[in-house]
Structure 1
Amino acid sequence: MHVPDGFFNAATSVSAGVVAAAGVAVCLRGARRELDDRTAPMAGLVAAFIFAVQMLNFPVAAGTSGHLLGGALAAILVGPYTGVLCMAVVLLVQCVLFADGGLTALGINITIMGIVTVLVGWGVFRLVARVTRGRVVVAAFLAALVSVPSAALVFALLFWVGGTAPVEVGAVAAAMGGVHVLIGIGEALITAMTVGAVLAVRPDLVYGARGLAKPLVLRGADGETTTVGGQEPAAAPGALRPFLLGGIGLTLVLAGIASFFASSSPDGLEAVAENKGFLSQASDHLFGSWALADYGEVGGIPVGVAGIVGVGLVLLVAGGVAYAARSRTKVKV
């Protein structure tokens, strides 16, 4: 759903940029409550993983593909404030290094793909987790499922406000919502499997699982009470580095090898834009001639190599941002 240059007028692009900048500033402060020396590296890994999986377009309909957005996944794994920061780093690197998403549309992309997906995903996750008594994987599935069409409908609303082509907003909203419901199913499956896998090996690193386990109070015949459960997931001392290294290895495999098998069909936004007649409004990216543009296609670089470069850069930038924003609490890792 990366919006290119040319889809929105200057006023809308600037306004969205202000919203995005304000959102990132708020999240830089809020992330202090979510990050410490132990969890800051996790933010870098989550951002790099989202970057890698976004390269893996999957078919959703005839001639149309989709890819992970990742906002709900990021919020569940590292918290909503940190999740927005992860998404902002991913989108910034994709825009500047790979010409994926327009420079003038960066604020729009961060607002739609970062802030909206995180807020909607986190809200749905918390609601469903409470209703289902802490079923984290189920809540993650539904959160991701809802977040994707929500972002698509926000795009349609913004296009109605400041799009550069005279199209019927209802038709765009219906088309965007319809195809992104299908993409949302893929997103939900990826999110649920990822959250479930992390829960299985390091439940203490799943931010969304904290505080969900409610203690069970048992009263004996003598009137004495016993509390069962309700504890936070216990950390596994000394096991963080192997987990991080394993996660980085998997991420590199996805970006360096699996990316060769991604669908080449246009994604949901591109397909809708072509069908509704406003794809021609897209303008050339300022960095469109760079060697890594379009993930190496412009410079003849194998997509896997471009993906590995991107993973490394996102890991460093997101990890650095998280480390700088973290609480200064010292935690043994």
Structure 2
Amino acid sequence: MDRRQLEYFLAIVQTGGFTSASRRLRVAQPSLSQAIRSLERDLGTPLFDRLGRGVGLTAAGEALVRPAKQVLRDFATARASVESVIGLTGGRLDIVALTTLAVDPLAGLIGRFRLDHERVDVRVDDPEHDDAVTGMVLNGDCELGLAESRGTAEGLDHLRLPDQEFFAVLPPGTGGEPDSPIPVAALANRPLVSTPEGTAMRTLVDRELSVCGTPPRVAVETTHRAAIVPLVLAGAGATVLPARLAEDAAVRGAVVVPTTPPLVHGAVMMWRSGQLSPAAKAFVDLARPVCAG
């Protein structure tokens, strides 16, 4: 078993077939097929079920996906560790973050990181919920993850991020005293705009705005996160957003007020226990003073 075989294996998993994987890898399909047959001989079991034009994973193939991703990440870390002797001269840092945390504090941290390491590319994935963040870090899809601090899984280290306060964001012209807090119960009785059940934002809305066991009324449900503020501005309903996003909504005309009691949530940056790549280590070190503050 070698790195090339694992790269080919994961490409087939990600694209769903040998033909599409060979195009992505720019490798002749016979060479790709031969490499997979060799890998299957080494392991003593088939990894794929051939299903017409596509393929499906066998139980053995399913079991190989996660360690294969980690092996490839370990190869990248080993190379980057050697290159770090002469400085961070390239490579890529993969991060997964909930939308609210991607806006703040992640955006600011990435900006500062890029000023110091302009040749390191950064990719940020957008998950649906906290569990997806944990899974992508554990699986090796991303090296760092930002999520709510409701406990981290075994095998992960973490750094606590500054708490986030969420604010009520109401349609323009909503009555009441400016900056006067709105009771959570009153907000829960308003028509709300949110994302579908199972997403991080909807989980927060359902958890925090449920009053006496009665779920809040989500009048408009959308998978388009970018449409939430425009929907509020159009009068479709209210929502809750963290400070940075709420400030942007206020500039566009929304009425933004705190809640009583305040809606405050903790957050963490997480990574797999063990050695970080030089880029990830530099990023975590950059974040430590922010977290300490």
Larger radius of gyration: 2
TM-score by length of 1: 0.19
TM-score by length of 2: 0.21
- Identify, as 1 or 2, the structure richer in strand: 2
